[in-house]
Structure 1
Amino acid sequence: MIAIAIAWEDGADRALGLPRYETEGAAGADLRANLPDRGAIDIAPGARALVPTGLRLAIPDGYEVQIRPRSGLALKHGITLPNSPGTIDSDYRGPLGVIVMNAGDAPFRIAHGDRIAQMVVAPVLRASFRKVDALPPSGRGAGGFGSTGRT
């Protein structure tokens, strides 16, 4: 198990608790809206908002935290994260905010304490990059979207 150190932002509502896994088999720990005024944010269709969580993280080297949408919000309301999965690097120590987008057809309200996203801790592999004159061939070649012929 990997330990993630978490600190509260000044003024954050600590009563909301830390992120937590809601079931034994959950891969993602839920993040909650931690609004400074303890109010709500209304997001119009097509609009987006940066929703604070009140948290800061210290992620161990060799890991990242991925921020992902909650499937129920996506299905029922069209609420998604436009940069999903968002990555929090191990050397970032600033506030954890979640960019939430309303892709639905009705305004959506996020209230203080609502579960808005989930975070997944994942290992990071770093690559080395080298310039070559030509790439080795493959069965697919340079075919783009839909080029595999499968639907």
Structure 2
Amino acid sequence: MSASIQIPHTGQAPTHANPSDAGADLYAAESVTLAPGERALIGTGTAIALPERTVGLVAPRSGLAAKHGITIVNAPGVIDAGYRGELKVTLLNTDRDEAYTVNAGDRIAQLLVLPIPAVEFIAVSELPTGDRGAAGFGSSGYAG
């Protein structure tokens, strides 16, 4: 399955490093230095028009996280199909000692585009049983 996504002729378009990659790289449009523990909203200089019934998920780049402790505060960030503004990424420097400089043109995140089924929420008096029941967060493997 292939879909075309419209982008204006500004900024660096998202690109796939390899044809089979799930995520397309998003690029910084500005240079920012993140002190240890600091976060910043970084523009990509581009916007997209996602097809109806799809969502864009903005996820961290594993290399930035592993090598420099750079992650995304609200990962994954959600881009709704109707949004047309500039894509921005809230990066966080989790390193306790080293600042990190993002330069314009650096790959700072990845964008995944996924189909979203139409969903209708229906009020019911009770839910059907499930394998986990009402077991909470971490109930399938957290040893506490």
TM-score (ref. length: structure 1): 0.85
Q: What is the root-mean-square deviation in Å for CA atoms of aligned residues?
A: 1.6
What percent identity do the matched residue pairs reach?
Answer: 43
User: Among residues 15, 22, 29, which one is paired with 2:24 in the alignment?
Assistant: 29
2:137 alignment counterpart: 145
Structure 2 CA distance for aligned equivalents of residues 41 and 129 of structure 1: 42
Structure 1 CA distance for aligned equivalents of residues 136 and 87 of structure 2: 35
1:20 alignment counterpart: 15
1:7 alignment counterpart: 8
Structure 2 CA distance for aligned equivalents of residues 147 and 32 of structure 1: 38
Structure 1 CA distance for aligned equivalents of residues 141 and 48 of structure 2: 43
User: Among residues 66, 91, 97, which one is paired with 1:75 in the alignment?
Assistant: 66
Structure 1 CA distance for aligned equivalents of residues 44 and 105 of structure 2: 9
2:81 alignment counterpart: 90
Deviation of 1:8 after TM superposition, in Å, equals: 4.1
- Deviations 1:104-150 (CA, angstroms, capped at 9, x unpaired): 22211101111101111110123111112222223321111332357
Deviation of 1:76 after TM superposition, in Å, equals: 0.8
Where do 5+ consecutive residues of structure 1 fail to align? none
Name the count of aligned residue pairs.
Answer: 141
Structure 1 CA distance for aligned equivalents of residues 69 and 127 of structure 2: 41
Where do 5+ consecutive residues of structure 2 fail to align? none
Q: Is the 8 A contact 1:8 1:54 kept in 2?
A: no
User: Among residues 124, 127, 132, which one is paired with 1:135 in the alignment?
Assistant: 127
Letter in 2 for 1:79: I
TM-score (ref. length: structure 2): 0.89
1:45 alignment counterpart: 36
2:59 equivalent to 1:64: no
Structure 2 CA distance for aligned equivalents of residues 100 and 149 of structure 1: 29
Greater fraction strand: 1
Q: Is the 8 A contact 1:19 1:31 kept in 2?
A: yes
Structure 1 CA distance for aligned equivalents of residues 51 and 16 of structure 2: 19
